Structure 1
Amino acid sequence: MNEDPNNDRTDDTHAGHGPRLRLTPNERLAITITFFSMFFGASNLIFPPLLGAEAGRGSITAGFGFICSAVGLPILAVVAVARAGGFNQLAGRVSHGFAVVLGTAIILTIGPLFAIPRTAATSFEMAVAPLTPSTPHWATQLAYSLVFFALSYLLSQHPERLAHTIGRFMAPLLLVMIATLVAVCLFTAHPTFTSPMAAYADGGFITGFIEGYQTMDLLAGIYFGIVIAANIAGFGVRDEHHRRHEVTRAGIGTGVMLAVIYAALTYVGMVSGSLTRINPLTDTGAEVLTNLTSRLFGWFGTAFVGLIFMIACFNVCTGLIATCASYFEEQFPRVFGRPMSYRTWSILFALCGLVIANAGLNAIITMSVPVLSALYPITIILVVFGLFHRVIGRYAPRAYGWTVLLVGVFAAAQCVVALLAVLGVALPPAQSLFAALPLADQQLTWLIPAALGLVIGVADSLRLRRR
């Protein structure tokens, strides 16, 4: 290994001996930007401006809550998974079967059922629909989705080379466009920022924290490391321990980038909200952005924001197809006795995304909220326990099973009730019961079964130690 501090690169061999152990600064930057571009999609563009427009002068507190859940939790997940050696090892501390079931549920959520189709639906609504008002909506969306998923599928066929395509071209272009938008806002005269509205008037931090769920980045962060590790190996770092170290460094760098851009987009939303007051019940972050750009630049501003959405969504879709196909190829190499390759899985996910994307953006978001509310608490428990595994694994190993069990049952029951309500089937007794629980207004009722499970798990572990 080359120990020269002025040369950060360790070649594939040192005087002809030994493997390469780390990346160069340029390679590390490319990996970090690739990691960032896989996270930063439609929801990451939509929610910070909406937060800024709704929270107004209270955006600092609300924005901090948003960053805690939309940046802090995903990066902690990357670190926890890297330390454990993979998500299967982390979730396997509960049981192997649980790891497969939860992993599959997460992959389907961040993949073909919600996140992948949402990338195409959102970018279409922002980039294409406003420019084609006279064309039948369904026909234009179908044509756009076909091209979008075909290109994303082709690019995802080489997941180990995403750092060369997305990291060195697409993502830097996206960053330049976002920086341009923010710079314009810094020099735009605007009225006094508005007072916090809606839920931000009562609890800015908690509301911002819950809004961070909608990015799905905690769930995605658990598995994006698969693709990032493949890209690091593509640069020549073959040792698993050092790859994990590079994944962790890239995750931390990505977190810094996300936090800075979220803060900047929140400020954009504050400026937009001061110029054009929004309706928190009907307006979205997309409208917050278009209100500002169309007011400043007319149709060109609308097209500019649409292009930002298109690039961001395409980057994320490509990363998600690669991540999901890699996971399913590893977990389910054969289905009904037939071999299932990476390419086959990626085709299936692209086709599934194509079909669901044409169901409409509102339907996708509405159905995803209850599922995310069920998966997030379980995943948060695993991440937190994973970070403190040296203590929990030694003194209270049974806490994993008990806490996840109680939180999982509680979250699943809430999810079923919420999904039935979305479908028009109300269960008043169950809804009243969940609404009456402590922390219901903050949507943190799962902390109660989590605390109970932790206590039972510690007591059970002590009982076993005595035996």
Structure 2
Amino acid sequence: MENLKKKRLFFVSLMLFSMFFGAGNLIFPPQLGQLSGTNMPLAMGGFLISAVGLPILAVAVVAKTGGLHILASRVHPKFAFAFTVLIYLSIGPFLGIPRAASLAFEMGISPFLSSSIGVSKIPLFVYSLVFFGIAYWLCLSPSKLVDRFGKFLTPTLLVLITSIFVFSLFKPIGGFSAPIGDYVHFPLLKGFVEGYNTMDAIAALNFGIVITIALKEMGVTDEKRLVSNTIKSGAIAGLFLTIIYLMLSYLGATSMSKFGTTENGAQTLTNVVFYLFGQKGSVLLGLIFSLACLTTSVGLLTSCSQYFAKIMPKISYKAWITILSVSSMIFANVGLTQILKFSFPVLIAIYPMAIVLMVLAFFHNLFKGNSYVYLFTMVCTSFVSILEALGHFGLKVGILNNLPFYSKGLGWIIPAAVGLVAGLIYGSLKKKRFENNIR
């Protein structure tokens, strides 16, 4: 069955959406809407480029190249191994999965706890044990994820989020306020950088393997059709993400005039839901966060386990699911605040490299796959992004302040362009020297 029916493709797309849509996807759009106010359309435009456009590009690029490792090998084999492992560990047991589990607890369980119990670490431990127990069970049968996510969990999640938006139209919260901070002067660029927090662009580099397995289970084995259906599912998932982001950012923007600023998007969404539905809204909010974070965690656990089982075949997929579930549970108990504090600098280091890798792959034929273009561009990009990330841990490098766009979180762009030009020139000189030697 090479031709995948539209209904099945739709369910695959919903599965991919559910794997994308987790903790960061819920809390950052409302915060963006709240802080950007009347500049929300521009800010959301930048956010959609990095939080939707880049993930779709990543899905397409990885599908065409045959995987993240093969793609990263265009830079250097050693870089491919190090970068791929770093990506999987970041979106997996060290950051992405623990963040999802701890946020699900904060929003789904914590509001129902008394003040005396809330300060104890036992509730988080018990919740994370149950959370990862369910995730482990779902991961044992990755071929069934399409039916479990596409037919049941994702539609439920979409209905719950849409109900909040629709209800806000009948019970208006307030109007758009004036933008705050960086959203005043460069909302587009600020929105673009905020899109890093969803982690979807780097997650998309790894979800391709889950989609491929699902499509093969449906009878799609031809390589071209696998690539085609993977890209189509990515585009449909991206459409759903765009719609939900617009809804959430609208809710955040209208909440500013009534509730003022909050510490994070989770609090913003909590204020909105409680205003619309009263105390019963905590149940609705708990369901939304639990479903979103669970589906994302399952997608990340599955893709990470499949990757590590491939590079270390002596350890089975089931064993990796166990290892990663336990390690993720341990990191989840560190607490949401500490995880968020550590995650942003890590994303600042990784995201520019991932973006450059995807863009170069997209224009691969234009520069005829010159390996020096990949190498030089990545070296220049990583040098700046890593130093910038270290700056968030107190290791400031003053010279970076002279880079264009550095204050906007995009200081890596010019160095990347310099690396690109240097790679083209050096590659051309090497080619001419080789041709002269042959003569």
Q: TM-score, normalised by structure 1?
A: 0.90
Q: Choose which of 70, 86, 95 in structure 2 pairs with 1:89.
A: 70
Per the TM alignment, residue 462 of structure 1 is displaced from its structure 2 partner at its CA by: 1.1
Q: Choose which of 455, 458, 465 in structure 1 pairs with 2:421.
A: 455
Q: Secondary structure at the match of 1:398?
A: helix
Structure 1, 233-242 or 211-220: larger mean CA deviation: 233-242
Post-superposition CA distance 1:266-291 (Å, at most 9, x none) = 11112222321114xxx111111111
Distance 1:435 1:461 in 2: 31
Structure 1 residue runs without a partner (length 5+)? 1-19, 334-338, 422-426
Q: Secondary structure at the match of 2:121?
A: helix
Is 1:328–2:308 an aligned residue pair? yes
RMSD: 1.3
Post-superposition CA distance 1:438-463 (Å, at most 9, x none) = 21211111112211111110111110
Q: Choose which of 382, 388, 392 in structure 2 pairs with 1:408.
A: 382
Distance 1:192 1:247 in 2: 40
Which one-letter code corresponds to 1:304 in the other structure? L
Post-superposition CA distance 1:36-87 (Å, at most 9, x none) = 0000001101011111111111110001110010000111111111121221
In structure 2, the partner of 1:434 is 400
In structure 1, the partner of 2:326 is 351
Which one-letter code corresponds to 1:393 in the other structure? K
Per the TM alignment, residue 398 of structure 1 is displaced from its structure 2 partner at its CA by: 1.5
Distance 1:50 1:408 in 2: 29
Distance 2:378 2:184 in 1: 33
Identity of aligned residues (%): 37
Q: Choose which of 111, 116, 129 in structure 2 pairs with 1:146.
A: 129
- Structure 1 residues 163, 385: closer, same or farther in 2, change over 3 A? same
Q: Choose which of 229, 253, 276 in structure 2 pairs with 1:270.
A: 253
**Superposed counterparts of 1:320-399, under 5 Å:** 320-333=300-313, 339-394=314-369, 396-399=370-373
Per the TM alignment, residue 386 of structure 1 is displaced from its structure 2 partner at its CA by: 0.6
Q: Secondary structure at the match of 1:441?
A: helix
**Superposed counterparts of 1:39-78, under 5 Å:** 39-78=20-59
Q: Secondary structure at the match of 1:236?
A: coil
Per the TM alignment, residue 297 of structure 1 is displaced from its structure 2 partner at its CA by: 2.0
Q: TM-score, normalised by structure 2?
A: 0.96
Distance 1:458 1:401 in 2: 11
In structure 2, the partner of 1:16 is none
In structure 2, the partner of 1:184 is 167
In structure 2, the partner of 1:239 is 222
In structure 1, the partner of 2:108 is 127
Distance 2:211 2:247 in 1: 26
Q: Are 1:52 and 1:270, in contact at CA under 8 Å, matched by a contact in 2?
A: yes
Which one-letter code corresponds to 2:111 in the other structure? P
Q: Are 1:22 and 1:246, in contact at CA under 8 Å, matched by a contact in 2?
A: no
Structure 2 residue runs without a partner (length 5+)? 434-439
Distance 2:337 2:171 in 1: 32
Per the TM alignment, residue 409 of structure 1 is displaced from its structure 2 partner at its CA by: 2.5
Per the TM alignment, residue 303 of structure 1 is displaced from its structure 2 partner at its CA by: 1.9
- Structure 1 residues 123, 440: closer, same or farther in 2, change over 3 A? same
Q: Are 1:75 and 1:251, in contact at CA under 8 Å, matched by a contact in 2?
A: yes
Distance 1:23 1:146 in 2: 38
Distance 2:174 2:64 in 1: 48
Q: Are 1:185 and 1:271, in contact at CA under 8 Å, matched by a contact in 2?
A: no
In structure 1, the partner of 2:239 is 256
In structure 2, the partner of 1:465 is 431
In structure 1, the partner of 2:178 is 195
**Superposed counterparts of 1:198-217, under 5 Å:** 198-217=181-200
Q: Are 1:293 and 1:302, in contact at CA under 8 Å, matched by a contact in 2?
A: yes
In structure 2, the partner of 1:21 is 2
Q: Are 2:142 and 2:210, in contact at CA under 8 Å, matched by a contact in 1?
A: yes
In structure 2, the partner of 1:111 is 92
Size of the alignment, in residue pairs? 431
Which one-letter code corresponds to 1:299 in the other structure? Q
**Superposed counterparts of 1:208-227, under 5 Å:** 208-227=191-210
Q: Are 2:378 and 2:416, in contact at CA under 8 Å, matched by a contact in 1?
A: yes
Is 1:319–2:285 an aligned residue pair? no
Per the TM alignment, residue 257 of structure 1 is displaced from its structure 2 partner at its CA by: 0.9
Q: Are 1:377 and 1:407, in contact at CA under 8 Å, matched by a contact in 2?
A: yes
Identify the structure with the greater helix proportion.
2
Per the TM alignment, residue 318 of structure 1 is displaced from its structure 2 partner at its CA by: 0.7
Misfit runs of 4+, over 4 Å: none
Is 1:164–2:164 an aligned residue pair? no
Structure 1, 355-364 or 129-138: larger mean CA deviation: 129-138
